[in-house]
């Protein structure tokens, strides 16, 4: 009986070791989307008055957990009974990620329209602010749903061919990391300026170490969010390009002389722009009619 127990423990240890190794590989493959998820939610959870930032973030986190509860069982069913659908969803998701990256690039290149909208924004009442808050939460949860689908499907692709139990454990673990890890970091980021202010007010002396660190945190917050956004955008192109080169034979055989990371980036960027151009033209045409 003791030998049977030790054999069981050995099997469990082997399983956990396999899951840990596969989780590390899957985490690397999904790091780009996690970075973009972090940047998007840091942006969406900021911009509120101080006492509303954490409640807004908690509402988004609950929505994110609900997204995972919906997506996980569906993805496992598709993987088990219709595995070809995983590849199709990956390619569609890759197109979306490439477009999302191109959209961000064009917003940086053509910022005038966003500035005009900001100037036209009137002073809002309390009811309008609450309505805007709900709209922002809904938008963040919708974006999280799309990114969660991509994270889970890419993770499934990374553990393709592994025992089904291992797939379930790895994908579920990555999904939890994507929620707890990302939103935990977002909570730290959006409160960084307040933590910095507390360090500045730590004592009554001027130009102390705590003052300098606190000031750096306050001043550095918008730059940090912008940096994460830039890194996340680059990662979107890399992830999208990687999907195309691995899942579509045509892309696998082009630009082979370039380093893999540069090839993936260029393919993601080109496809993103090819998708962005017609969508932008249609949106412009529709807005002119209205």
- pTM metric for this prediction: 0.69
pLDDT at 117 over 60: no
- Only one residue has tokens 């690397």, namely 28
Least confident interval from 4-13, 159-168, 216-225, 245-254: 4-13
Return the structure tokens found at 182: 């990302």
Tracing tokens 């949106």 back to the chain, one arrives at 283
- Specify whether the CB–CB gap between 233 and 99 falls below 8 A: no
pLDDT digits (tens, 9 = 90+) for 18-38: 445 555 544 555 555 565 566
Query: Which residue from 277, 30, 288 is spatially nearest to 150, judged by alpha carbons?
Result: 30
Residues, the chain:
290
Q: In 10 A of CB 208, how many CB atoms?
A: 14
Closest by CA position to 106, among listed 289, 222, 277, 285:
277
Query: What is the pLDDT at residue 265?
Result: 92
């Amino acid at each position: 009986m003791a030998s049977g127990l030790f054999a069981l423990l050995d099997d469990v240890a082997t399983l956990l070791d396999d899951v840990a190794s596969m989780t590390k590989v899957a985490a690397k493959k999904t790091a780009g989307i996690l970075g973009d998820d972090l940047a998007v939610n840091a942006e969406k959870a900021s911009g509120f008055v101080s006492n509303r930032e954490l409640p807004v973030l908690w509402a988004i986190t609950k929505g994110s957990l609900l997204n995972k509860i919906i997506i996980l069982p569906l993805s496992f069913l598709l993987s088990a009974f219709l595995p070809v659908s995983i590849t199709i969803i990956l390619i569609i998701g890759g197109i979306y990620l490439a477009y999302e990256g191109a959209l961000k690039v064009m917003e940086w290149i053509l910022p005038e329209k966003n500035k005009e909208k900001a100037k036209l924004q009137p002073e809002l009442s309390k009811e309008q602010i609450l309505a805007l808050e709900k709209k922002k939460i809904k938008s963040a949860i919708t974006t999280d749903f799309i990114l969660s689908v991509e994270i889970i499907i890419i993770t499934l692709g990374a553990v393709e061919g592994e025992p089904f139990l291992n797939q379930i454990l790895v994908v579920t673990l990555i999904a939890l990391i994507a929620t707890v890890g990302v939103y935990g970091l977002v909570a730290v980021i959006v409160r960084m300026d307040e933590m910095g202010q507390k360090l500045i007010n730590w004592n009554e002396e001027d130009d102390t170490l705590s003052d300098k660190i606190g000031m750096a945190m306050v001043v550095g917050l918008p730059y940090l969010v912008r940096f994460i956004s830039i890194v996340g955008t680059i990662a979107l192109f890399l992830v999208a390009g990687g999907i195309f080169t691995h899942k579509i034979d045509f892309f696998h055989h082009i630009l082979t002389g370039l380093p893999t990371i540069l090839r993936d980036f260029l393919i993601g960027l080109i496809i993103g722009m090819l998708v962005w151009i017609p969508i932008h033209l249609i949106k412009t045409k529709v807005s002119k009619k209205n």
